[in-house]
Amino acid sequence: MGWVFSLSLDWVQLWHVYVFAFLLGSVSAFDAPARQTFVSELVGETDLSNTVALNSTSFNVARMIGPAIAGVLIASVETGWVFLINAASFVAVLCSLGFLRVREFHQSKRAVRARGSLAEGFRYVWKRPDLKAVLLMLFLIGTFGLNFPIFISTMSVTVFHAGASQYGLLSSIMAIGTVAGALLAARRAKPHIGVLFASTAIFGVGCALAAIALSYGFFDLALVVIGVSAQTITTTTNSTMQLSTEPAMRGPRDGNLSLAITLGGTSLGAPVVGWVADRFGPRWALGVAAVAGFAAAIVGIRYLAKYRQLRVFIDAGRLRFSIDDGDAAV
């Protein structure tokens, strides 16, 4: 059986991979927005921000364990069997959906599905300087900074000359950072754009450190920093879009713009980042991600200075900033 399966794998061509990647993206275009809107109905408004963060935690725990197991399996058995195992795991997902108690959902006002709903969502966001700033920051990070498979794989293979098992270990180490970021986000009662600004700046620093890493261990530490900041960015953006918009505008309108920007931006940026990694090396690709993080931080600074009266000061030897709503962050 294994020999037959191995022989069938030799028939796979690159265009087959392109087709399946397209089909996966098409399914995600329907699946991910539905799940995004679905979260707000599982819990009330008070617990929404924490729920988003905890959902990210469970997702990233899987990311932490999965790559390490996959790396070992790929090194010991054929890659095709790993795909089959991954497909079988969706049985658990279908079972969990079947156990949901629909009558206990927190129903909210739904957006009316009509032609032009997406355009209406863009108009709504255009009138909100805070949402424009958040989505622009997410676009910069999502397009040029969240292509971690490219960064990790190219650094692992061409710089550190590691194999599949080491690549899986690097992915798991980064997932440790994302889990930590999700847990930290779960502690906050509500999202804050000041936290988003700080996390984009830290993301830029983490990518810069990863780009100049001379050792495998130092690169591991940089990945943890990147993981914490990246998770904080995505969780804060998601919570902001869920909590700061009108219930009728969530879902097929502006509530899913953040998801569309994340998925679409990453797909658009992947060829660019991949070309930079192939032409100039993976360190330069990480440099592009670092520049994207700093550019997103500049967008956050501009918004806070213009609309929130940003003030930077030194308190007890530590750099702090405050805005007009009275909140402060390190």
The C-alpha atoms of residue 43 and residue 28 are separated, in whole angstroms, by 23
Residue positions counted in the chain: 330
Half-sphere exposure of residue 326: CA atoms within 13 angstroms, side-chain side: 0
The per-residue pLDDT string of the chain (330 residues; one tens digit each, 9 = 90 and over) reads: 343 344 345 677 778 778 887 787 777 766 766 676 677 677 766 676 677 667 766 766 666 567 667 777 777 777 778 888 888 888 988 888 888 887 777 666 555 555 555 566 677 777 788 888 888 998 999 899 988 888 888 898 888 887 766 777 787 788 777 777 767 766 665 667 778 888 999 999 999 999 999 888 899 899 999 988 988 888 788 777 766 666 555 554 444 566 667 666 777 888 899 999 999 999 999 999 999 999 999 998 888 888 877 777 777 777 676 766 544 333
Q: What is the pLDDT of residues 80-139, one digit of tens each?
A: 788 888 888 889 888 888 888 877 776 665 555 555 555 666 777 777 888 888 889 989
Q: Which CATH class is domain 17-89+116-323?
A: mainly alpha
**Sequence ranges of the domains in the chain:** 17-89+116-323
Tokens representing residue 124 in the block: 């709504």
| Residue 235 contacts residue 52 (beta carbons within 8 Å) | yes
Walk across the sheet containing 311-315 and list its strands: 311-315, 318-322, 328-329
In three-state secondary structure terms, 131 is helix
> What pLDDT sits at residue 8?
46
Tokens representing residue 71 in the block: 């790396």
At residue 77, what is the residue type?
V
The C-alpha atoms of residue 250 and residue 111 are separated, in whole angstroms, by 7
- Neighbouring-strand partners of residue 173: none
Is the pTM above the cut of 0.85? no
CB atoms within 10 A of CB 243: 15
